């Protein structure tokens, strides 16, 4: 192989390396973009889950208050109904 042929071969190989390097950089940028999209999506999902959790906690608090109120109402209603079964002296 002559020096010119060797030089041509080296130039072709360097050209292939350069093109492949460009392709890899493009792929890397595309992957970086996709990873950033996934990270943003995960952050938004986490934020939504936190909001839902807070909402669930408020709902549970309200249900607990409603349950306690219902118990008081039931007790009061039972007492009221029992009061109709007694005569004027408080006897059944």
Q: What's the pLDDT score for residue 90?
A: 57
Inside any domain, residue 87: no
Is-above-0.85 flag for pTM?
no
> In terms of residue numbers, what domain contains 43?
1-59
Inside any domain, residue 5: yes
For the cut 60, the answer to whether the pLDDT of residue 92 exceeds it is no
Report the domain count for the chain: 1
Q: What is the DSSP string of the chain?
A: --HHHHHHHHHHHHHHHHHHHHHHHHHHHHHHHHHHHHHHHHHHHHHHHHHHHHHHHHHHHHHHHHHHHHHHHHHHHHHHHHHHTS-TTS--
Q: What's the pLDDT score for residue 89?
A: 58
Q: Tens digits of per-residue pLDDT, 4-32?
A: 999 999 999 999 999 999 999 999 999 99
């Amino acid at each position: 192989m002559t020096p010119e042929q060797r030089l041509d071969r080296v130039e072709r190989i360097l050209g292939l390396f350069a093109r492949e390097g460009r392709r890899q950089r493009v792929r890397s940028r595309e992957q970086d973009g996709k990873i950033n999209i996934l990270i943003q999506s995960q952050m938004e999902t986490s934020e939504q889950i936190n909001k839902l959790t807070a909402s669930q906690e408020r709902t549970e608090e309200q249900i607990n208050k409603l349950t306690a109120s219902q118990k008081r109402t039931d007790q009061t209603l039972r007492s009221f109904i029992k009061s109709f079964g007694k005569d004027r002296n408080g006897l059944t």
